């Protein structure tokens, strides 16, 4: 029996690989026990309990960006979080900590080190976040999703994928997906998503392009994000929903995808073999652009800057591409060459190696 503490959260990009590893751990042995560590504000507060795992809470503490009162109070608040995690580790007799980045990971790494509990890091993005960059120096091992990620002690493991995505990568669920969303399974289907929060540029461009997409006979499943305030629409070949809790089925019926280049999205598209246009998020440290490098270089995706994804791009580049079934098929095959479907198993093997010493 081994007790695991999995730390991460905030976005689906952190929560989903955490849950994929949790499922792999419990599948390996029913005697294994898993606790997740996250915040009460992130997606983990809903997704972790829904998956049947206990969520232990730490405060959401962003790193200070400028000298102010918050920066002055941060060290004491962070240390309190570390002490809280140390209590969790002791109470639950944790044998190993695995962190995925985000607010919960930094105090988890510090607490594990203080108690001489081994910790392993999984970095989802090609450009590592702050918590993982700092934590990697003392980690027992580091697993990375992309081969171009630069972290000490790193081993390529790929992305731990949800079992639903793995199933779609191995079998044809197109009819089930079309039925679930009320789509015509015989039409060429474009799935558009900016992630759970939505993407303003993508949403506006697709909205402005509805007529030309319809004229080209292209069916669109447009997932706009649940905080955009845009209402659902079911009109002919255009279907708009706010939030999708069955992305596995959405991808199952997709012939092509337009999306941000988040690590999980890139890896899911590659695993299933879906060609795409990727529009990296233009704010932040630019990690999304680097997430797409291997998929784009392989010919399985096109990369377009956020400012250049316009209605002209849709009419002049995207629609002609979608109308070329041979090229779409070739891109799908090239995307598939970059797919890793056993990332959770690979990460589990990395952890097992640490535990065996």
Instruction: Report all structural domains of the chain as residue ranges with CATH numbers, in order of start.
Output: 3-161+341-356 (3.40.50.2000), 164-336 (3.40.50.2000)
**CA 293, chain centre distance (Å):** 16
Helix axes 263-272, 325-336, angle to 10 degrees: 110
Dig out the tokens for 194 from the structure: 């900016």
Residue whose entry in the numeric block shows the structure tokens 């070949």: 237
Count CA atoms within 13 Å of residue 313 on its CB side: 18
Q: Is the pTM of this model over 0.75?
A: yes
Tell me what pLDDT residue 230 has: 79
Dig out the tokens for 202 from the structure: 């993508």
What are the strands, taking DSSP E only, across the chain?
3-7, 33-38, 54-57, 96-99, 119-123, 141-144, 154-156, 189-193, 219-223, 233-235, 238-241, 256-259, 276-278, 301-303
**Alpha helices of 226-342 — where are they, by DSSP H?**
247-252, 263-272, 287-291, 293-297, 311-313, 319-322, 325-336
Tell me what pLDDT residue 158 has: 97
Strands 238-241 and 233-235: antiparallel
184 within 8 A of 193, measured Cβ to Cβ: no
CA gap 216, 130 in Å, rounded: 45
150 within 8 A of 127, measured Cβ to Cβ: no
Tell me what pLDDT residue 228 has: 67
Tell me what pLDDT residue 284 has: 67
Torsion angle in degrees (nearest 10) through CA of 53, 54, 58, 64: 0
93 within 8 A of 34, measured Cβ to Cβ: no
272 within 8 A of 341, measured Cβ to Cβ: no
pLDDT in tens, the chain (357 residues): 899 999 998 877 789 999 999 999 999 999 999 999 999 988 899 999 999 999 999 999 887 788 888 778 878 988 999 999 999 999 999 999 999 998 899 999 999 999 999 999 999 999 998 899 999 999 999 999 999 999 998 999 999 999 999 999 999 999 999 999 999 999 999 999 987 666 889 999 999 999 999 999 999 999 998 766 778 888 889 999 988 889 999 999 999 999 999 999 999 999 999 999 999 988 766 679 999 999 999 999 999 999 999 999 999 999 999 999 999 999 999 999 999 999 999 999 999 999 997
Count CA atoms within 13 Å of residue 43 on its CB side: 20
Tell me what pLDDT residue 7 has: 97
Q: Mind giving me the DSSP string for 187-233?
A: S-EEEEE--TT--HHHHHHHHHTHHHHHHTT-EEEEE--TTS-PPPE
Tell me what pLDDT residue 196 has: 63
């Amino acid at each position: 029996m081994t007790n695991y503490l999995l730390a991460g959260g905030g976005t689906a990009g952190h929560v989903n690989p955490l849950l994929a590893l949790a499922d792999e751990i419990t599948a390996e042995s029913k005697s294994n026990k898993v606790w997740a560590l996250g915040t009460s504000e992130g997606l983990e507060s809903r997704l972790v309990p829904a998956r049947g795992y206990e969520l232990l809470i730490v405060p959401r503490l962003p790193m200070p960006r400028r000298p102010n009162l918050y920066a002055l109070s941060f060290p004491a608040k962070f240390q309190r979080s570390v002490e809280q995690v140390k209590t969790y580790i002791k109470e639950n007799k944790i044998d190993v900590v695995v962190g995925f980045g985000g607010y919960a990971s930094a105090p988890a790494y510090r607490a594990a080190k203080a108690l001489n509990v081994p910790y392993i890091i999984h970095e989802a993005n090609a450009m590592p976040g702050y918590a993982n960059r700092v934590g990697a120096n003392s980690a027992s091992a580091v697993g990375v999703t992309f081969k171009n990620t630069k972290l000490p002690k790193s081993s390529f493991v790929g992305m731990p994928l949800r079992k639903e995505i793995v199933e779609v990568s191995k079998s044809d669920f197109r009819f089930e997906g079309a039925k679930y969303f009320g789509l015509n399974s015989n039409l060429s289907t474009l799935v558009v998503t900016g992630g759970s929060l939505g993407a303003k540029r993508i949403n506006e461009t697709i909205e402005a392009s509805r007529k030309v997409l319809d004229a080209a006979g292209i069916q669109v499943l447009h997932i706009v994000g649940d905080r955009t305030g845009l209402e659902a629409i079911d009109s002919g070949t255009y279907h708009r929903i706010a939030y999708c809790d069955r992305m596995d089925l959405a991808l199952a019926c997709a012939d092509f995808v337009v999306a941000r280049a988040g690590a999980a999205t890139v890896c899911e598209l590659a695993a299933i073999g879906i060609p795409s246009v990727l529009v990296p998020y233009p704010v932040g440290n630019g990690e999304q652009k680097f997430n797409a490098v291997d998929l784009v270089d392989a010919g399985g995706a096109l990369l377009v800057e956020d400012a250049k994804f316009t209605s002209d791009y849709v009419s002049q580049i995207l629609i002609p591409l979608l109308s070329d079934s041979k090229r779409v098929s070739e891109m799908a095959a090239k995307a598939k060459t970059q797919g890793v479907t056993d990332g959770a198993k690979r990460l589990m093997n990395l952890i097992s190696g640490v535990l065996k010493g």
